[in-house]
Amino acid sequence: MADNPNILFINTDQQTWNAVSAYGNPYVHTPYIDQLQKNGISFMKSYCTDPVCAPARASWVTGLYTSENGVPFNGGRMHDDIPDLGQILTSNGYHAIHCGKWHVEDRPMRKSFHNLYTGKRDIGACGGEYYDRVSTHAVIDFLDCYDETIPFYLQVGLVNPHDICEYLHNHEHKSIPGPVEQGILAVEDLPPLPKNFKYDEREILLQKMLHRDEETSIHAPILNGIRDWTENQWRFLSWNHYRFVEAVDQQIGLILNTLQNSRFKNNTLIIFAADHGESSGCHQAFQKFSLYEESIHVPFIVATLNDQLDVPKGVLDTEHFVSGVDLVPTVLDYAGIKVPGGVQGLSLKPLIERKSTDIDSKTKDCEKHEKKTSAENTIPWRDFVYVESNFWGRAIVTERFKYIMEYRPKQKENFFPPWTGYRLYWIGTALRYSERPMGNEKPCR
Amino acid sequence: MKSLAGESDYDDVLEDCREKLFRFEKKLHRRPLREGRPRDYIKKLSGQLLERWAVYDR
């Protein structure tokens, strides 16, 4: 067990997949996430299991979809008999540690993990500006002081860029002049409107309702406040989101610098991901909840700061669909622990090691490399990814299409998802990737 | 991004995707929500949404 790697899982909250400068986004500067990209493999087709905090995080710690683990929305209650990642790791000789945002209600984090933050209540959904600094300090202290011989799994839940929600809450029921109108920023400082700012009128019904109808929006007061926004105000929303991303990137930098100078540098695997994305004006929507790309498509990087673990450097994997349920099997695979039956995800370790072998072979012998990349080297993998959106619909994302199926009422009494025991009524919609939002489709390295 | 719903050229795609989704969901071990807050929440929000379906679903 002592030879197994330490695993550091750094996660951010509400970061869209392309809010990373290494992927070609010129409107955000993330030197430390870029450092992870340069030192690892980025899975460019990574999706959350559900574009809301608690469900996405419940999948991270169970390897199950949200309709299986009992947490399909914030406030859902995980079934008691489902083991979580902390429990599995602890019972198999790892020191499982948590720091920062948890947000899986009714699953006592302190019973599953050792908690680095000493407050009595878990860190919740806001306050990234100060909680992230506290978490970072705690992680730095841990890396400086940990002197046990057993390996650790440390998950660090950073809150930002979730503070973009607080920015929006500031607009509830009132009109705040934009920074351009106030003379604080010049128009050219703002990111452009997303290409898909104007939504398709044939978009699925519930998305239309939830984002533009105050009677049904979860955040109706925000909707009221931003209904008459100018284009510059929408652009400023995106500008703000990127500043919160940069704020959390600085915290990641402090953690990476400490790891780099610690005795754990050579035996620590780093996983970086976000729980879900942020709409930032795409389809004139804000926050998450929807099944649009900006809401469900997230960054996912596996990296090391050393050459001892078998992880390729600077690779962009644009081939394989990755899901939030893959975290549990991947962590357990690296930890040398058998994955419990029933877990839905797949371990990324074979993909990562194959990429590494491919690159190594290519460097040494081009002819051999060509042979190795033939069909015999193919690892069986999913050809689409499945995403649930609270209780109003779900989707599959394939290579060319996104298919969304809503839960739709036939009669009042059966407007419920099937797993609540009520009858399902559905509508199908396919969305084609004819137009990507801002960002390079094939990001530069 | 363009919605293809209702475009007859894509009927086969819709059918294929629908089949994929249903086949996948059969493998899930879905469980009823726990009693209490989760069920109360879902009923409340469902009610709000239902009231608006009549407005939009034409």
Residues in A touching B2 (Cβ below 8 Å): 200, 431-432, 434-435
Tens-digit pLDDT profile for residues A196-249: 888 776 676 666 666 667 766 678 888 888 888 899 999 999 999 999 999 999
8 Å CB contact between A7 and A154: yes
Give the pLDDT confidence score for residue B14 in this predicted structure: 86
- Name the pTM for this structure: 0.91
Q: Do B1 and A200 touch (CB under 8 A)?
A: yes
Tell me the residue length of chain B: 58
Give the pLDDT confidence score for residue A369 in this predicted structure: 39
Paired with A297 in beta bridges are A47
Give the pLDDT confidence score for residue A300 in this predicted structure: 98
Mean pLDDT of chain A: 86
Inter-chain contacts counted by CB atoms under 8 A, chains A and B: 140
CB-nearest partner of B34 from A77, A202, A342: A77
Which residue in chain B is spatially nearest to A382 when comparing CA positions? B24
Paired with A260 in beta bridges are none
* Helix (H) or strand (E) segment spanning residue A211: helix A205-212
Give the pLDDT confidence score for residue A420 in this predicted structure: 64
Inter-CA distances, A431 with A75, A172, A297, A402, B4, Å: 30, 32, 15, 5, 6
Structure confidence at residue A391 as a pLDDT band (50, 70, 90): low
* Residue of B18, B20, B30 to mutate, testing the A interface (most A Cβ within 10 Å of its Cβ): B30
Structure confidence at residue A441 as a pLDDT band (50, 70, 90): very low
Q: Do A418 and B30 touch (CB under 8 A)?
A: yes
Tens-digit pLDDT profile for residues A346-381: 999 999 998 766 665 554 444 443 434 444 568 899
d(CA A357, CA A123): 41
Which residue in chain B is spatially nearest to A407 when comparing CA positions? B46
Q: What is the ipTM of this complex?
A: 0.91
Q: Record the tokens describing residue A247, joined without a space.
A: 């704020």
Give the pLDDT confidence score for residue A172 in this predicted structure: 85
Q: List the domains of chain A with CATH numbers.
A: 6-380 (3.40.720.10)
* Helix (H) or strand (E) segment spanning residue B47: helix B37-56
Tens-digit pLDDT profile for residues A99-145: 999 999 789 999 999 999 767 788 877 889 899 999 999 999 999 99
Q: Which of A84-93, A295-304, A402-411, B14-23 is predicted with the least confidence, judged by mean pLDDT?
A: A402-411
In percent, how much of chain A has pLDDT > 70?
Answer: 83
Residues in A touching B29 (Cβ below 8 Å): 64, 68, 342
* Residue of B3, B10, B28, B40 to mutate, testing the A interface (most A Cβ within 10 Å of its Cβ): B3
Q: Do A435 and B41 touch (CB under 8 A)?
A: no
Tens-digit pLDDT profile for residues A168-189: 888 887 778 888 888 999 999 9
d(CA A7, CA A274): 17
